[in-house]
Structure 1
Amino acid sequence: MSSAPVNPEIGLNIVAAGISTNYHEVGHGDPVLLIHGSGPGVSAWANWRLTMPRLATRFRVIAPDMVGFGFTERPTGVRYDLDTWVGHALGLLDALRIDRAHIVGNSFGGALALALAIRHPQRVRRLVLMGAAGVPFTLTPGLDAVWGYQPSVEAMRRLLDIFAYDRRLVNDELAELRYRASIRPGVQEAFAAMFPAPRQRWVDALASPEEAIRALPHETLIVHGREDRVIPLSNALTLARWIHRSQLHVFGRCGHWTQIEHAERFATLVGDFLAEASADEPRPLDPHEPRMEPLL
């Protein structure tokens, strides 16, 4: 008798900010929170499946399905906005008893990561923003198509073509899998409620104030695909100008899927950047270690 196949998108479960939350946790070390994007049928596993095992060799990696996405609960009457999503991410850190974490945000998740760092700077160590929203920009035709998705295999295939620079990453099997994920009970209803037309207002709603971004104290890595048709490269250039302690890496021949199209190089870049944090932060004082008294 064969057992039913295990769905890799379903991981652990915890109540975070009152929401039953599906999340993945692998590895040991300093905690790293990965926040996914907002494509139809997305989940933490779909977004970060290639990144998690690579970072897990060096860090404790945590990747949740944000409320409204994947296999996390969709509470009746929930308001899908920046306040709710930031509160959900913070609630997850609280539930896991994590005081501070590195935050890696992709696209929509980049806007959440940015807002979390602004609103709760003491909870964030280093920040990675990949193909990030979170600053003002004109809605692209690509993002309009993503947020305006109406379920069909053909529509999903067209979206995957927008996401990837390398069309070899897009095939009928992947389109079918993502389509089926997008039509699970409650998924499309929640997705349609998040970003209804006109959609420029949701771009604006995800943006943090320029003054607040400029005041960020965190070391920040900004990553973008040069050929990104969903979130414009100009976003990365804006973030690099506004965040004083930032560095920018642009991947050529790359669309909106940096973490998939350049999986190994992306994970190495992010892992090395986050690993530097231990070296440049002051070591906590040992109360039993003898200390020199100041000279009077």
Structure 2
Amino acid sequence: MVQGVRPRTGGAAAHARVGPSAEYLFLSLQPLERDFTIVYLDTRATGRSQVPAAEAVTMEDFVDDLDNLRRHLQLDQPWFIGHSMGGTQILEYSLRHPQHVRGLLLLAAAITNNAADATRQA
């Protein structure tokens, strides 16, 4: 999530649904940190986050987690950055909560006609 332009303001990066920590995005996104505060998010079952039962991980869970993080950080309309399935998650978030999205940066996002289908396929 990225809030505003200057001074350094908030933002979040979501990444591929399964696998490594969001730390791999740090090198690519580090130049943005001159102007923005970026929050690197390990979504459920990735990186250092806890791995819940497979049936407990739904697109709704990811969207709820993003909204809970946005509210916790007290950000009204941040930018969202998402890679791979993280891009699908932020796209779905923007469809459900357009009033809380300033913009999206999609990096090789997994786009389908129904973003929720992408979660089941991953």
Q: TM-score range by the shorter chain?
A: 0.7 to 0.9
Partner residue of 2:117?
A: 205
Task: Work out which of the residue numbers 114, 127, 133 in structure 1 matches 2:110.
Answer: 133
CA displacement 1:25-44 (0-9 Å, x = unmatched): xxx6232211111353x111
Task: Tell me how far 1:87 sits from its aligned partner.
Answer: 0.8
In the aligned structure 2, how far is the partner of 1:88 from the partner of 1:78? 16
> Is structure 2 residue 6 aligned with structure 1 residue 35?
no
1:76/1:204 CA distance change after superposition, 3 Å: closer
Q: What number of residue pairs does the alignment pair up? A: 113
Partner residue of 2:22?
A: 44
What amino acid is the match of 2:63? Answer: V
Two-structure CA RMSD over aligned residues (Å) = 2.4
Task: Tell me how far 1:89 sits from its aligned partner.
Answer: 1.1
What amino acid is the match of 1:97? Answer: Q
1:29/1:107 CA distance change after superposition, 3 Å: same
Instruction: After TM superposition, list the pairs within 5 Å mapping 1:259-274 onto structure 2.
Output: none
Under a length normalisation based on structure 2, what TM-score does the superposition of the two structures give? 0.80
In the aligned structure 2, how far is the partner of 1:118 from the partner of 1:126? 12
Partner residue of 2:68?
A: 91
In the aligned structure 2, how far is the partner of 1:29 from the partner of 1:114? 24
4+ runs of 1 displaced by more than 6 Å? none
Instruction: After TM superposition, list the pairs within 5 Å mapping 1:219-258 onto structure 2.
Output: none
Which structure is richer in relative contact order (CA contacts within 8 A, separation 6 or more)? 2
Note the residue ranges of structure 2 that are not aligned, 5 or more in a row: 1-6
Instruction: After TM superposition, list the pairs within 5 Å mapping 1:1-296 onto structure 2.
Output: 29-40=8-19, 42-46=20-24, 48-75=25-52, 79-136=56-113, 205-206=117-118
Task: Tell me how far 1:54 sits from its aligned partner.
Answer: 1.1
- Identity score, percent: 25
In the aligned structure 2, how far is the partner of 1:64 from the partner of 1:206? 19
In the aligned structure 2, how far is the partner of 1:204 from the partner of 1:52? 26
State the SS of the aligned residue for 2:23: helix
Larger-gyration structure (1/2):
1
What amino acid is the match of 1:66? Answer: T
In the aligned structure 2, how far is the partner of 1:94 from the partner of 1:204? 23
Say if 1:36 and 1:65, in contact at 8 Å, map to a contact too.
yes
CA displacement 1:177-234 (0-9 Å, x = unmatched): xxxxxxxxxxxxxxxxxxxxxxxxxx86138xxxxxxxxxxxxxxxxxxxxxxxxxxx
In the aligned structure 1, how far is the partner of 2:108 from the partner of 2:60? 21
